[in-house]
Amino acid sequence: MGSGKTTVAGLFAQLGIPVYDADNRAKILMVQDSDLRENIMSLLGPTAYRPDGSLNREAMASIVFKDAELLQKLNALVHPAVARDSLLWSEQQSTPYSIHEAALLIQSGSAQGMRAVILVQAPLQMRMERVRHRNGWTDEQIMDRLRNQWPEEELIPYCRYRIVNDGTQSLLLQVLDIHRAILRDLGK
């Protein structure tokens, strides 16, 4: 969170590479997939949704980010739905490769079907500042979420490529290098 995954994904998109935004699709599926919606309400209660049917993200976050077991149960509902949606999306792509942008790609098990994983890294304080600025969250709200994500050091062994997003290196040049390497690996 706050590392710059979306920015990096946008650079790949500018190169013509389709990007599946798992977090956005999860939010959509939690509203539009009736089975998933029912299961979420059974797990978290009716406050998970507003009277207009939209997702009450604030209420959900205040519950699940304070209860690791409940968060795990919610993820067990949402991640399979996103995995199915992602597979359908991937099958519709005609480019040599596509990007799957997700915060919990490795933890959710979704990385197993991927040819390669790209880790976008940034120092913790920089990530927290970005999230504070973007979302208006307090440090406590940010840390509640970060505690439920693996530290970067644990992700590194699962990643074939790494992008450093700390302002010291060009993101575009790093993306271009990885893009070329992927195409080379694919024989393109």
Q: How confident is the model at residue 21 (pLDDT cuts 50, 70, 90)?
A: very high
Q: What is the pLDDT of residue 105?
A: 78
From 32-41, 83-92, 102-111, 129-138, the region with the lowest mean pLDDT: 102-111
- Give the DSSP per-residue string, 87-129: HHHHHT--SS--EEE-TTTTTTTGGGG-S--EEEE--HHHHHH
| Helix-then-strand count for the chain, H and E | 9, 4
More confident residue, 62 or 20: 20
* Model pTM score: 0.85
State pLDDT tens for residues 163-180.
999 999 999 999 999 999
More confident residue, 128 or 68: 128
Give the C-alpha separation, 156 to 93, whole Å. Answer: 28
Domains, the chain: 1-18+97-188 (3.40.50.300), 22-92 (3.40.50.300)
Q: Please give the structure tokens belonging to residue 186.
A: 């694919």
Give the residue-averaged pLDDT of 31-60. Answer: 95
Residues of the chain by 3-state class (helix, strand, coil), percent to 5: 60, 10, 30
